[in-house]
Amino acid sequence: MDNYKSTYERWLNSSVIDENTRNELMSIKNDEKKIEECFYKELEFGTAGMRGILGAGTNRMNIYNVRRATMGIAKRVCDLGDDAKKSGVLIGYDTRNFSRVFAEETAKVLAAHEIKAYLFDTAHSVPEVSFGIRTLKCALGVVITASHNPKEYNGYKVYGSDGGQLPPQAADVVINAINKCDVFDDVNFISLEEAMSKGLVEIVGPELNRKFLDVIKTQQINPDVIKEVSDTFKLIYTPFHGTGSRPVKAILKEIGFKNVLVVKEQDTEDGDFPTVKSPNPEDKEGFEIAIKMAKENDVDIIIGTDPDCDRVGIVVRDANGEYQTLTGNQTGALLCEYILSQKKKNNTLSDDSVIIKTIVTTELAAEIAKAYNVEIMNVLTGFKYIGEKMTEFVKTNSHTYVLGFEESYGYLIGTHARDKDGVVATMMIAEMAAYYKTKNMSLYEALLDVYERYGYFYEKTVSVVMPGKDGMEKMAELMKNLRVAPMSKICGMDIVKTTDYNSQIISYADGKKEELKGLPKSDVIKFNLSDEKSQLIIRPSGTEPKIKLYLSSSQESFDKAENFVLDMLTDVKSQLKI
């Protein structure tokens, strides 16, 4: 019998599983492909935690895999000693289906190991959890979330005592402990009632919420511009059925915005996300209701946050009065220019100021930073690497952190957290839009000004979905082939430099090679073209069944940059046969 079949039978016949799980397993007993998908592997727990489709099986998100994962967390905390057990673990969760259930299961396992668990009273955003870990001085933190994924998904993210996602060494301890733990036989937990009676679970919320908002407000640069335009400035906000509703509406009101319209249809905590195909602020489709409202109410800007409120998307009005979505790169570039220009104007820009971005994020940020004599640092994809740099700065006292951002719509202004923060980003974007309004400019016009000053950059990210076991094999084969027989040209232009972040080797067209320094290994390959303005980066997603292509170019005009990137995409997809 195939291994996945025997594993299926074990689950089906286990005395541990609940009746609903058993019924779900029974419903697929004649579906060979479904059984294989659910059981052909264990849901992977990587350095960023785990994420998967909800359902029964080793390769699905369910209470059994959550308990097993928490056994690894318990091992990590116990290894740190009694003080860490007393410091405890803060558990947050978003509005997704089963998020509260998974959070409680996490608390129950921790309590069985006499580890204090702080459990939020309601759904909370990722930045609030990151901030709360630091404020409560917890040993670790857990967030139940699948970020911007469709309703079928949920996930489990783990944070260190600094409020950032676990670094590789600590994550390895957790992963090794999980791998040694049988999903049924080795898991210990007690009831939530018993845990609370023993003082091992404490409910938190309102006091932390207040502290969080107070810290966010300290990041304002020009609070007076809001007062100046508050009577006429109009903003629409949508939380996409997520955790941003409470903190974002509160912060916008407290800093003085009077005309904040909320998309009521999307201001409900609903894990089915009924108004969108996917609750992703990267997708214009999700903003359809908001754009209709904006046209009816003559609105200046639309802002949306994803379910765990760590990503932000915006829609602005162009010169023709039409509402256009901005990319994460464009919003990041606007934030770079606004924050650096205003800090310089206010004499609050330190000589050791630094902006951190990921390797797949726009090089336009580097041009802006250079204009203000500010250092720009590149890190691997994933906000945890930005968080690691922030923690490093505290230890070395070597830099003043200004802004960290990534092309996937994540930004952090301030050092109150170590993960991207949709609350502070929304506040700063709104302030920025108000500032430009005092100059009789829209954010769209401000973006055109940035292009005019620093160059016309166009970036495009394409995700090629490769689901299931076959998809994982295809992704591995594609990356292998790129290393064995790399591309030599794109759009007829020579590839003059290839950087393999996994082998840590930089290869040049003339045969010269050198070692890549300063970044850890990662399954990423970058190709630079001979025009020295264009590049392609390819990487498999660490959390989803897809391979990602990041294409970018800088040209004499925006249209030329866009057209060249689209031509690149066509050629690359043809060469890779995807």
pLDDT in tens, 452-504: 999 999 999 999 988 877 888 889 899 999 999 889 999 999 999 999 999 99
The strand pairing partners of 115, in sequence order, are none
Residues of the chain above pLDDT 90, percent = 92
pLDDT, mean of residues 231-250: 98
> What is the DSSP annotation of 259-273?
-EEE-GGG-S--TT-
pLDDT, mean of residues 276-291: 95
pTM for this predicted structure: 0.95
The predicted structure's pLDDT at residue 169: 82
State the chain's mean pLDDT as an integer.
Answer: 95
Q: Which helix (H) or strand (E) holds 310?
A: none
Q: Is pLDDT of 272 > 50?
A: yes
Active site residues per annotation: 147
pLDDT, mean of residues 134-147: 97
Q: What is the DSSP letter of 488?
A: -
Output the CATH code of domain 217-454: 3.40.120.10
- d(C-alpha 401, C-alpha 350), whole Å: 9
Residues of the chain above pLDDT 70, percent = 99
Tally Cβ neighbours within 10 Å of residue 15.
5
Paired tokens of 461: 């990210």
pLDDT band at 227 (very low <50, low <70, confident <90, very high): very high
pLDDT tens sequence across 50-80: 999 999 999 999 999 999 999 999 999 999 9
Beta-strand ranges (E) seen in 33-121 are: 50-53, 89-93, 117-120
- d(C-alpha 524, C-alpha 532), whole Å: 20
Q: 457-576: same fold as 41-204?
A: no
**Tokens 């937990």 belong to which residue?**
189
CB 304 within 8 A of CB 238: yes
Q: Is pLDDT of 552 > 50?
A: yes
Beta-strand ranges (E) seen in 234-343 are: 235-238, 260-262, 301-305, 312-317, 323-325
- d(C-alpha 369, C-alpha 559), whole Å: 24
The predicted structure's pLDDT at residue 443: 97
Residue 317's contacts (CB-CB under 8 Å, 6 or more residues apart) are 294, 299, 300, 301, 323, 324, 442, 444
Q: Which helix (H) or strand (E) holds 186?
A: none
pLDDT, mean of residues 367-395: 95
Q: What is the dihedral of CA 294, 300, 304, 310, to 10 degrees?
A: 180
Q: What is the DSSP letter of 167?
A: P
Angle of CA points 574, 531, 475, to nearest 5°: 35
- d(C-alpha 572, C-alpha 534), whole Å: 13
Residue 266's contacts (CB-CB under 8 Å, 6 or more residues apart) are 238, 239, 240, 241, 275, 276, 289, 290
pLDDT, mean of residues 213-217: 98
Tally Cβ neighbours within 10 Å of residue 215.
16
φ/ψ bin of 114: left (φ > 0), alpha (ψ from -120 to 50), beta (otherwise): left
pLDDT tens sequence across 397-442: 999 999 999 999 999 999 999 999 999 999 999 999 999 999 999 9
CB 492 within 8 A of CB 574: no
Output the CATH code of domain 41-204: 3.40.120.10
The structural domains of the chain, with segments of one domain joined by +, span: 1-39, 41-204, 217-454, 457-576
Residue 145's contacts (CB-CB under 8 Å, 6 or more residues apart) are 92, 93, 94, 96, 99, 126, 154, 155, 157, 307, 308
Proportion of the chain in helix, strand, coil states, percent, rounded to 5: 45, 20, 35
The predicted structure's pLDDT at residue 543: 63
The predicted structure's pLDDT at residue 9: 95
- d(C-alpha 179, C-alpha 434), whole Å: 51
Amino acid at 64: Y
pLDDT band at 199 (very low <50, low <70, confident <90, very high): very high
Residue among 96, 90, 98 nearest 66 (CA):
98
The predicted structure's pLDDT at residue 424: 98
Tally Cβ neighbours within 10 Å of residue 31.
11
Q: Is pLDDT of 252 > 90?
A: yes
Q: What is the dihedral of CA 81, 83, 85, 91, to 10 degrees?
A: -130
Tally Cβ neighbours within 10 Å of residue 18.
12
Work out the end-to-end distance of the chain between its first and last CA atoms, rounded to an integer number of angstroms: 34
pLDDT tens sequence across 291-335: 999 999 999 999 999 999 999 999 999 989 999 999 999 999 999
Q: Is pLDDT of 1 > 60?
A: no
* Architecture in CATH of 457-576: 2-Layer Sandwich (3.30)
CB 547 within 8 A of CB 478: yes
Of 92-106, 177-191, 259-273, 457-471, give the lowest mean pLDDT range.
Answer: 457-471
